[in-house]
């Protein structure tokens, strides 16, 4: 937990799978027009902060090629107020918009992100005890 504490102290978001490892659902998947993405979700662990954001890191995976992974990063508003792009990688704004729409069209994913946000805040309170 030292790495997590360190990030908390610095105000850096922490990856869900770092706090709750070895679960079946460490990462999300998303396939979009022949492109396959693994998505990690990170959260702010300041118990007093009400940002209601999940930082989503989309990493494109190439199953058959040994290409360098390409990725983009957004902070997604869990109250449904959209998202902000922090890193485009080599993706266009339009492409990211289409992928985000595809990914968040499923309520179960958005609900799960909300649950994980709450779990992370609870864990932060527990750690700071
Ligand atoms: Zn926050």
d(CA 12, ligand 1 centre) in Å:
9
CA distance 71 to 77: 19
d(CA 34, ligand 1 centre) in Å:
34
d(CA 61, ligand 1 centre) in Å:
29
pLDDT the model gives residue 27: 87
Domain ranges of the chain: 2-128
- pTM, two decimals, is 0.91
Alpha helices in the chain (DSSP H): 2-10, 16-19, 93-104, 107-128
Cβ-Cβ contacts under 8 Å for 36 (sequence gap 6 or more):
29, 30, 60, 61, 62, 63
Q: Model confidence over 17-60: pLDDT tens digits?
A: 999 987 676 789 999 988 999 999 999 999 889 899 999 999 99
Q: How many other C-beta atoms are found inside a 10 Å radius of the C-beta of residue 8?
A: 19
d(CA 115, ligand 1 centre) in Å:
15
């Amino acid at each position: 937990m030292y790495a997590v504490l360190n990030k908390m102290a610095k105000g850096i978001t922490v990856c869900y799978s770092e706090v709750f490892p070895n679960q079946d659902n460490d990462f999300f998947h998303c396939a979009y027009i022949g492109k396959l993405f693994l998505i990690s979700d990170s959260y702010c662990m300041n118990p007093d902060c009400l940002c209601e954001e999940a930082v989503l890191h989309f990493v494109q995976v190439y199953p058959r090629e040994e290409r360098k992974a390409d990725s983009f990063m957004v902070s997604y508003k869990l109250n449904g107020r959209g998202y902000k792009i922090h890193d485009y990688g080599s993706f266009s704004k339009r492409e990211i918009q289409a992928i985000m729409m595809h990914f968040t069209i499923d309520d179960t994913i958005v609900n799960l992100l909300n649950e994980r946000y709450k779990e992370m805040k609870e864990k932060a309170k527990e750690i700071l005890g």
